[in-house]
Amino acid sequence: MTSEERAKVIQLLEQSRDEFFASVEGVTDEQWNHHPSPDSWSVGETAEHILLAEVSFFGAIQKAVASAPNAGWEAEPGRKSMFIERVMTNRNRKVQAPKSIQPRGMERAEVIARYLDVRSRTLQFARETQLALREFTADHPFPVFNTLSAYDWLLYIPMHNLRHNAQIVELLKT
């Protein structure tokens, strides 16, 4: 990971974390649990999904770096990163989350505590790793993303968080 990539991902991890807390701070229990429609998640469920997704995505990074390098896998280095940045915050297209990262009914205190823990771990990894993250890969469950480098997975975490921060803001307006 270049110093520019490291700075960018750290900034995005911090920004998405800060926006997350700004969006859920002061939310009442009624707002936390409110479903604007039968097929939509509540603020609490969206927050839980963000947490579960980060745990899963960080697991993909760990899986990637534990495997042999896949150097040269990407014909145009950085193309996937640009794609992730472009599509992840666009809320015009809704996507069904894989079952493994769908909310399960965690209490608010547990969601917040676990989010803080996993984000601290993710930030520590981003600050300290010396691995060539673009050389290690893991497959994404959605074919549109296909294979991602460990760096792309690291970038995916805050971009996914920002996407759902926007969803929380939308939910709070209903």
- Tell me how far apart the 2 most distant CA atoms of the chain are, in Å: 51
In this structure, what DSSP letter does residue 71 have? Answer: T
Q: Which amino acid is at 126?
A: A
In this structure, what CATH number is given to the domain that contains residue 32?
A: 1.20.120.450
Q: Give me the percent of the chain exceeding a pLDDT of 90.
A: 70
Residues 116-140 have pLDDT tens digits of 999 999 999 999 999 999 999 988 8
**65: helix, coil or strand?**
helix
Is 70 domain-assigned? yes
Three-class SS of residue 105?
A: coil
Please, what sign has the CA dihedral across residues 104, 106, 112, 118? negative
Instruction: State the Cα–Cα distance between residues 61 and 131, nearest whole angstrom.
Output: 11
pLDDT at 143: 66
Tell whether 109 is covered by a domain: no
Asked if the structure places residue 8 within a domain, the reply is: yes
The residues, ordered by sequence, that sit 6+ positions from 36 with a Cβ below 8 Å of its Cβ are 171, 174
pLDDT in tens, 36-79: 998 899 999 999 999 999 999 999 999 999 999 987 776 566 77
CA neighbor of 88 nearest in space, from 117, 138, 50: 50
- What is the domain range of residue 58? 3-92+118-172
Max mean pLDDT range (16-20, 86-90, 91-95, 100-104): 16-20
* Assigned domain for 87 exists: yes
**pLDDT for residue 98:** 87
The type of residue at 41 is W
**Would 99 be classed as within a structural domain?**
no
